[in-house]
Amino acid sequence: MKIFSGGSNPELVDNICRCFSPRGHVKLQRFPSGEEHCQFQENIRGEDVFLVQSTSNPANENLMQLLVMGDAARRASAGRITAVIPYFGYGRQDRKDKPRVPISAKLVMDLIEAAGFNRVLTMDLHSPQIGGFTNLPLDHLCFRPALVVALKDTPVDCVVAPDVGAIKRADEYATALNIDLAIISKKRKSAEKVEVKQFVGDVKGKNVIIIDDLTESAGTLEEAAVACRENGAKTVYCAITHGCVTEVGNRRLTLAFKEKLIDRLFMSNTVKTSTPFLWADVDKGPDLDGLLEGYGEHVTVVDVAPTFATAIKNIHNNESVSSLFQ
């Protein structure tokens, strides 16, 4: 078994490899034109190869790098090639919700199969149905067990689904934590702005946690937190699997912490945050120069490397991964 890292999140791969031998050596290169190129620096003939790459920002570059690595491994006669995709980009484009639009999640799965991969390992797909977009075996891990452990010493009374699409995921968390469930119905006005239409459930005087699979602009989290506060929530926590936070989301979260709208954010390390969270001088406006960088005391990063390490070991040994959902 050999594990190789793409360029999207090498720190996560280092954490995974602490459970095994050091990660394999692959030379990654990007030509001035933007073309991706790679070369494995060791023999992988007949090996069980795992290529770890999140297709996060920049999504297209990271996706293409994964495909090029898969093709190189196939041509180097690897015995089996597994695409380990902690964050699966294009997951929100999973259906035709408007006329004349693509189903890009299906296209990405087709590209992965065409590149020579034999199976896929990922975590918290935006829509579980994406697992049916490919004929390859797919193992779908979830953030829930790791987050439940991280919440062990945090008083939480209610799980809040920030939109209708998050109800099933939130209900699973509520069941695992044995606490109440509340639901928010929202209407998206733009890519970065949402509006709460209805709040279902009782959060008055409770410590609530808003659960979602990913955030970019943090608009959904902000509006959900406002709705919880307006309905009497005592403490508001947020938990997301994939922290694909943009500059807009960065500033929005910073203000939410400063104004005590959100008390704490829990997030996994499936994605290497391209823009560090900013905690000081948030009133300076659009100019971000001079702001204090770092996650700060308001963010808890939950390491999911042990979950992926166990899954990789079990896949290599042809064992079940179902225990990772407990």
Q: How far is CA 236 from CA 199, 229, 230, in A?
A: 15, 8, 11
Among the listed residues 73, 87, 79, the one whose alpha carbon sits nearest the alpha carbon of residue 4: 73
Q: Which of 116, 118, 104, 107 is nearest to 71 (CA)?
A: 116
Q: Are 27 and 67 in contact (CB under 8 A)?
A: no
Distance CA 275, CA 169 (A): 27
The average confidence (pLDDT) of the chain is 89
299 DSSP 8-state letter: E
Count of CB atoms within 10 A of residue 302's CB?
18
Which residues make Cβ contacts (< 8 Å) with residue 91, sequence separation at least 6? 105, 125, 126, 127, 130
Phi, psi of 194 (to 5 degrees): -130, 160
Across-strand partners of 200? 183
Q: Please write the tens of the pLDDT for every residue from 118-127.
A: 999 999 999 8
CA 216, 220, 222 angle in degrees (round to 5)?
100
Read off the pLDDT of each residue in 264-289 and give the average, rounded to a whole number: 64
Query: What is the tens place of the pLDDT at every residue in 91-149?
Result: 999 889 889 999 999 999 999 999 999 999 999 999 888 999 999 999 999 999 999 99
Beta partners for residue 5, in sequence order? 52
pLDDT digits (tens, 9 = 90+) for 152-170: 999 999 999 998 888 999 9
pLDDT of residue 107: 96
List the catalytic residue out of 2, 186, 206, 272.
186
Rounded to 5°, angle at Cα 298 from 295 and 300: 70
Q: Is 284 a catalytic residue?
A: no
Domains, the chain, ordered by start: 2-141+305-325 (3.40.50.2020), 145-302 (3.40.50.2020)
Which residues share a beta bridge with 187? Answer: 195
